[in-house]
Chain A
Amino acid sequence: MLKKFDYLQPASLDEALDLLTEHGPAAQPVAGGTDVMIDAKRKKLVADVLVSLRGLKELSYIKQEESRILIGGLTTLRDIERSDLISARLPALADAARNMASVQIRNVATVAGNVVNAAPSADTAPPLLVSGAEVRLKSKSGERTVPLDAFFIGPGKTVLAAGEVLTEFIVPIPDGPYGQAYWKHSRRKAMDLAMVGVAVHLELEADLETCRLARIALGVAAPTPIRTPEAEAKLVGQKITAELLASIGEQSCDETLCRDSLRGEAWYRQEIIRVMVRRMGLSALERARAGRAG
């Protein structure tokens, strides 16, 4: 049974922020609605008033500004999937978008919605984490930027405050050669949540062999999407080889809190992480060398 809610359609972000402040805890923002409407149908929706951000075209964009990519929070997954700029500069995010849900869902679901919903399995999270993204949060009283690393605090919980909207992702583009890749491990090829998500981002020295910077992020390996900094540190300054990446895969498992769940058991998740960190590392390396990113 669907909860009866009021549905407001502000014409601008300012109007939306006003409405959110005016209605307080009785209101929440909604974008594509692909998570919120399911909550409403399952009686998990707390808000009585939904403030729709869906019409706010001003928050849907993908652009490059000097050495940063800026992605509007309301950019749909479909637009991310089809963006040449994202494929070239943030291929891990493109990998994620193209493997999420279905065309129908991706046509309306937004990247901010995926991040704010904060499922441990959120597919856009590991790619954005390994890319070093920050999020811009706006409210009626001002704005702040938060590193995505500090955004997730628990399953379904983030630092987004009442009255705030995630308006933009700010992603730095590295100098020099870099590559990144994301693997979504799931039983079905579409319309499935990740059992485990693995993103690897490697920045190389000019010799295209030595690692200058590495980031690894995992989904469904902990209550939130996580980075594995100890494993990352073991790559820096090293010549990247398949053997090294295999040991990094082992190392990153030690930093996880995998558990048994409906979609898979902890031991299996560890196996997949072990293998896919190596494989995504090799993919990132290949992309860096192909000049596809960077």
Chain B
Amino acid sequence: MKKILSFTVNGEPVSLAAEPHWMLLDVLHDHLRLTGAKEGCGMGECGACTVIMDGRTVNSCITPALEAEGTEIVTIEGLLTEDGRLSPLQQSFIDRGAVQCGFCTPGMILSAKALLDENPHPNEDEIRTGLAGNICRCTGYNQIIEAVAAVARKED
């Protein structure tokens, strides 16, 4: 039997009837059409479904939707600035060739955002560790790490 689920996404309140066995990814991607979060593995291993929940990154594919009750969710769509421009991280990824097929990108950027929010000046090891839960099959990671490092260097 469905239950009413209410939470905030990218600053906006949402409310919907959710089945208890739905995962947060189902709700975000299929029901709210926030298609940035993607199902890569469905098992919490690849990070393509990463979103930020109450300030912490989670794999939304294994987060029960009902656990989002009362929380603040940030998806990649929420990173645009108020005047609709790309955030520094997003721009840096594009500028440095860190996006190829783009499938890993939303999750990767959100993990990078969570990393920089906590540690504004990570070294390369810390960037690699912070992004270890996000797989990219295209880039070989170097451009991604450089894109994150470039944003970190500008934050003074």
Chain A residues at the B interface, C-beta cutoff of 8 Å:
2-7, 9, 33-34, 37-38, 40-41, 50, 52, 54, 78, 101-105, 107-108, 189-191
Contacts and interface: CB of A to CB of B under 8 A. Distances in A.
A157 B1 CA distance: 32
Interface stretch (B85-93, B98-106, B126-134, B137-145): B126-134
B43 interface: yes
15 contacts: A2-B23, A4-B21, A5-B21, A6-B1, A6-B21, A7-B20, A33-B67, A37-B62, A103-B133, A104-B44, A104-B111, A105-B133, A108-B56, A191-B132, A191-B133
A54 B65 CA distance: 13
Interface of B: 1, 19-21, 23, 42-45, 47, 50, 56-59, 62-64, 66-67, 69, 111, 114-115, 129-130, 132-134
Given A37-B62, A52-B64, A189 B132 contact: yes
B20 A190 contact: no
B34 to A, nearest CB: 18
A10 to B, nearest CB: 12
Contacts of A37: 23, 44, 62-64
The 7 A-B pairs at the shortest CB distance, nearest first, are namely: A102-B133, A190-B132, A7-B20, A37-B62, A107-B56, A104-B133, A4-B21
Contacts of B134: 102
Contact of B57 (A34, A54, A107): A107
Contacts of A6: 1, 20-21
Given A3-B21, A40-B21, A190 B66 contact: no
Given A6-B20, A33-B64, A38 B130 contact: no
A9 B56 CA distance: 20
A104 B21 contact: no
A38 B43 contact: yes
Nearest to B49: A104
B46 to A, nearest CB: 9
A103 B132 contact: yes
A103 B111 contact: yes
Contact of A2 (B21, B59, B63): B21
Nearest to B115: A103
B47 A104 contact: yes
A9 B57 contact: no
B41 to A, nearest CB: 10
B66 A7 contact: yes
Main secondary structure of the interface of A (DSSP, over half): loop
A5 B42 CA distance: 17
B50 A104 contact: yes
Contacts of B42: 41
Nearest to A5: B21
B63 A108 contact: yes
Contacts of A101: 133
B64 A102 contact: no
B61 to A, nearest CB: 8
Contacts of A103: 57, 111, 114-115, 130, 132-133
A3 B20 CA distance: 11
Given A6-B20, A9-B66, A102-B133, A41 B43 contact: yes
B64 A191 contact: no
Contacts of B111: 103-104
Given A4-B19, A103-B114, A190 B58 contact: no
Given A101-B133, A104-B44, 8 more contacts: A34-B62, A37-B23, A38-B62, A52-B66, A54-B67, A104-B57, A108-B63, A190-B133
A191 B130 CA distance: 12
Nearest to A36: B62
A136 B76 CA distance: 41
Q: Which of B42, B64, B115 has the most CB of A within 10 A?
A: B64
B64 A7 contact: yes
Contact of B44 (A7, A9, A105): A105
Contacts of B43: 38, 41
A107 B110 CA distance: 14
Given A37-B44, A104-B50, A104-B57, A7 B21 contact: yes
A267 to B, nearest CB: 29
